[in-house]
């Protein structure tokens, strides 16, 4: 997925070569440590639809006030 390497690092997940079936299978079957699961949820909230809409709303408000 384009942009994935910019969002995912070893604190929130694992990026593997999608053409390497074994690497994909291993990544899917790996158990994530509790800290990684929490960090992944926190990072996902920053890129949620709600967060993006809030950011866009802020940009529009700035433009209207200018």
Q: Please check whether residue 29 is in contact with residue 65, taking contact to mean a CB–CB distance below 8 angstroms.
A: no
Query: Is the separation of the CB atoms in 24 and 37 below 8 Å?
Result: no
Look at residue 2 in the predicted model and tell me its pLDDT: 58
Residues 6 or more apart whose CB falls under 8 angstroms from that of 13 comprise 32, 36, 40
Task: Quote the pLDDT of residue 3.
Answer: 63
Q: For residue 6, which of 49, 47, 53 has the smallest C-alpha distance?
A: 47
With a cut of 60, say whether residue 39 has pLDDT above it.
yes
Burial (CB count within 10 angstroms: exposed 0-12, middle 13-18, buried 19+), residue 55: exposed
What is the tens place of the pLDDT at every residue in 5-33? 778 888 998 888 889 999 999 988 999 89
Give me the pLDDT at residue 13, please.
87
Percent of all residues in the chain with a pLDDT value above 70, rounded to a whole number: 95
pLDDT above 60 (res 1) = no
Contact 46/12 with Cβ under 8 angstroms?
A: no
């Amino acid at each position: 997925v384009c942009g994935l390497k910019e969002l995912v690092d070893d604190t929130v997940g694992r990026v593997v070569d999608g053409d390497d079936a074994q690497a994909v299978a291993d990544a899917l079957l790996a158990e994530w440590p509790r800290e990684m699961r929490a960090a992944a949820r926190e990072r996902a909230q920053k890129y949620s639809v709600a967060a993006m809409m809030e950011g866009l709303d802020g940009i529009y408000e700035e433009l209207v006030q200018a």
